[in-house]
Amino acid sequence: MSFDRETPVFQLAFPPLRQRYRPVLLPVWVHQVTAPTGYSRTLDVFQTVVLRLCAAGVRDIGDLSQLIGLDTALCRTVMARLVEGQLMEPGLKLTEAGRRTVAEGEVAETEPRLVRVFQDPTTGSLLPRILISDPVRADLRAHRGRWVTIQFGTAGASREVSALTLRASGSSMRPSERDVLAACRSHDLATRGIRGASRAQDNTAVAARRIGFHSTANPAYLVCCVVEGHDGSGRMWTVADPFAATDDGRFFADLLAARTEGDEQLCRLIDELMGKSRRDRTAAARSVDRELAQDARVEVVRILGEGIRDHPEVFTHLADIELSLVKDTAREREHAVRNAIRVFECILPGLNEKFPARLPTSTVPGVRQRSFVLIAQRLGATSVPPEMRRHCAGPKNGVFGDVIKAVWAAGENQQHPFATFIRQRPTLLDDLDRSRILRNNATHGPTDAPASDELAHMRTLAYEAARHLLNLSGGRSTASTRGN
């Protein structure tokens, strides 16, 4: 198989209309796989509002847009995510899972579904996105060498644009089950507006057995749009996420930036949009970012020792925290909060599988709660947060439920890593509850970014979690040379 004029072009999202942009066609190999596509989680604020309004009887997209005060196109994007998650059907009707989610406020893990994953032919790595619905093929009007003319939109609301076809090199390779899971989970995070690589919500080895590959890979092009955009870190251009999953398209921007040195036509395209000086400024900013990212990883190893490299997902999150604190913008502080919680999301599911919790069998009201408080106190906890008391009888999936399960299990086994952790940090449960609140505010709330002292506290908590729960004995103090 090869990339040529007959290769289909997938238009997964419309280009931004309020920014200057230049379309490019990104070559990809498309693999069809069966994989779990959603994980137990709360909805973001927009999905919650849309789901509840539709549950209340709203059936017109225009009415929905007016009630929310959100652009119609964005409403359609939110609805598309809910349809992909099997919470809604076309026509603004809720599925049974959607009605259950409105009642419970949490989305259960979905069964494996047939999805498409996309592989970069140059590096062989998967894009951090998946496609559940059938792709929409762009209407090609003309070919002129590497330039093609594409029609966007439908009759009466269409426009033609010229796009540059990027060169393709390398053959398709079957991705690993782990890479497929990472793409699914990254997509799940991105649809909720959360930046960052995916991190396991359950045991990866178990989840990997649910992955199935179908037929061989097929070549295709994705419509991507280079857009003006200053993100506060010196970059002057970026790439709009072609999957309309998030406003943060830095992965795709980095993918294109890596191609600029050897592609004169791509450089000219960006120069026409931005000017050479602004392209050079962006290249310089990306170079500095790469150096900072490397320094961040060195700092993590300095603190925890070489053993952290055996846990690449936790390693990445801790390095992301260091990088965010160096950049120290409001946006990066919010990312640091989320990454601190993700350290626990990475570690606790596997720990709970190794040390399964046995909840008390009593159904007498309050007995389980009193038992839980007693166990926490015997482990050394100074107090048990009210939210944790409310859910201890039937812990849900997710990081908060995993913490509760770990406490139950630690009460039966004093050698449990969580038992050691609480003894060393008696305020652990309160600290985790406060971290949960900060994470929720950073993700959904209108509040300002966390203060420096809050972030220093969460950074230390994340490092202590890695040290105690992963049994790491190397490294030095968490008192970074960069300061807390």
Q: What is the pLDDT of residues 66-95, one digit of tens each?
A: 888 877 777 887 888 788 777 888 778 888
pTM, full prediction: 0.58
d(CA 340, CA 387): 20
Q: Which residues contact 453 (CB under 8 A, 6 or more apart)?
A: none
d(CA 465, CA 21): 44
d(CA 276, CA 270): 8
pLDDT value of position 99: 84
Of the chain, the percentage scoring pLDDT greater than 90 comes to 22
Helical (H) or strand (E) element with 348: helix 330-354
* Nearest Cα residue to 474 out of 346, 466, 482, 421: 466
Q: What is the pLDDT of residues 12-68, one digit of tens each?
A: 877 666 678 889 999 999 999 988 776 545 566 788 888 889 888 888 888 888 888
Q: What is the pLDDT of residues 264-279, one digit of tens each?
A: 888 888 888 777 676 6
Structure tokens belonging to residue 436: 């949960």
pLDDT value of position 342: 87
Q: Which residue has the tokens 């408080």?
A: 373
* Nearest Cα residue to 213 out of 3, 84, 30, 27: 30
d(CA 328, CA 323): 9
Over the chain (484 residues), the average pLDDT of each successive run of 10 is 83 73 92 76 74 88 85 80 80 84 64 87 90 84 88 69 88 86 81 53 54 88 84 67 76 84 85 72 71 89 91 88 84 83 88 85 78 92 89 80 91 90 92 83 59 84 93 66 44
